[in-house]
Amino acid sequence: MHLSRFPRIRLAHLPTPLEPMKRLSKELGVEIWIKRDDCTGMSTGGNKTRKLEFLMAEALEQGADMVMTQGATQTNHGRQTAAYAAKLGLDCHILLEDRTGYDDANYNHNGNVLLDHLHGATTQKFPGGHDMVAEMGRAAEKKRAEGRNVYVIPGGGSNPTGALGYVNCAFELLGQANDAGLQIDRVVHATGSSGTQAGLVTGLCAMNAQIPVLGIGTRAPQAKQEQMVFDLACRTAEKLGCAGVVRREDVMANTDYVGEGYGIPTESGIEAIRMFAELEGILLDPCYSAKGAAGLIDLARKGAFKDERVVFLHTGGAAALGGYDFAFDHSDRWVNL
């Protein structure tokens, strides 16, 4: 398995730091480290940047002059794709699905949406439950008929090419741990469109690292989430020439922290945002990393990580906070001395 055999545009700031979270660890009674993939550098960073190193290289190889992708209104993937496209001089169009029904002005125009537009991307809105894959195919065909060479990136950048970014992260993380003499017992992170977990698990299994990865779900129920991750991990391993290296039992997801649904903040997620912000100076987002952290915090409190050293992979997302101001009551932070 040799990642240099695949085209890659190195625009991410790598390696991302691996740091102890001392105050959170003390609070929870579990040693927790953080892998700072919120610091990958492209337009405030996040996990999609690693995937885009490989996806955008493929786009350029195919002679694309335009990229198209899709996601929810506050998609972090769309924002990182828009930034990458700007850097490479490609046009970018993002199809946005209204998965929450919020008519809040900041949700619909601030946060990631503002950044999409600042990077020069165009956006298009669809109601929730729309067939976004079909819609994107139709939109791409329309631009192709106009003579454009469109490279279509699936939602979340989650296909075997994108997942290579997280195979790379598995190498990087294990290298950092080995260099520091740090024994990692488990990795925990938020999982959604599945490319992050699929790539990580594939990389760790291929190295026989024997480090379990727990994905905390943000949308789908457990069986569906695990199957999605497993299917993509199998296809990624095949692409890398190590088919069969991931077993079904290597893929674990806990979907108890989704709450009402995708993109809808939860009480435990808001608590996680406050804890990370106040104890560690680190920002999470309500849609993904906060739900991942809520799972980490709750499971730590329940003793699920007893005597373990856990790495929380921070997948980013804080750029969405400006679109979620309605979820926070911070009126008690105004103090007149």
- 65 versus 256: smaller Cβ distance to ligand PLP: 256
By C-beta, is 148 or 328 nearer to ligand PLP?
328
Give the nearest distance from C-beta 145 to ligand PLP in angstroms: 31
Instruction: CB nearer to ligand PLP: give 265 or 317.
Output: 317
Residues 284/318, Cβ–Cβ less than 8 Å: yes
| Least distance (Å) between residue 221 CB and ligand PLP | 15
- Cite the DSSP H helix spans in the chain: 22-28, 48-61, 76-88, 105-109, 112-118, 132-145, 160-180, 195-206, 222-239, 267-275, 289-301
Q: Pick between residue 11 and residue 269 the one whose CB is nearest to ligand PLP.
A: 269
**Residue 101: partners with Cβ closer than 8 Å, 6 or more residues away:** 128
Residue whose C-alpha is closest to residue 58's, from 183, 164, 147: 164
Give the count of beta carbons closer than 10 Å to the beta carbon of residue 283.
Answer: 18
Q: How far is the CB of 245 from ligand PLP (least distance, A)?
A: 19
> Least distance from C-beta 286 to ligand PLP, angstroms?
10
Chain residues that interact with ligand PLP, rule: CB under 6 A: 46-47, 76-77, 156, 158, 190-197, 285, 288-289, 315-317
- Cα separation of 181 and 293, whole Å? 25
Residue with smaller CB distance to ligand PLP, 50 or 181: 50
Looking at the Cβ atoms of 77 and 186, the one nearer to ligand PLP is 77
Distance CA 52, CA 67 (A): 11
Cβ 196 to ligand PLP shortest distance, Å: 3
CB atoms within 10 A of CB 226: 23
CB of 313 to ligand PLP, least distance (A): 9
Phi, psi for residue 15 in degrees, rounded to 5 = -75, 150
- CB-CB contact of 258 with 217 (8 Å): yes
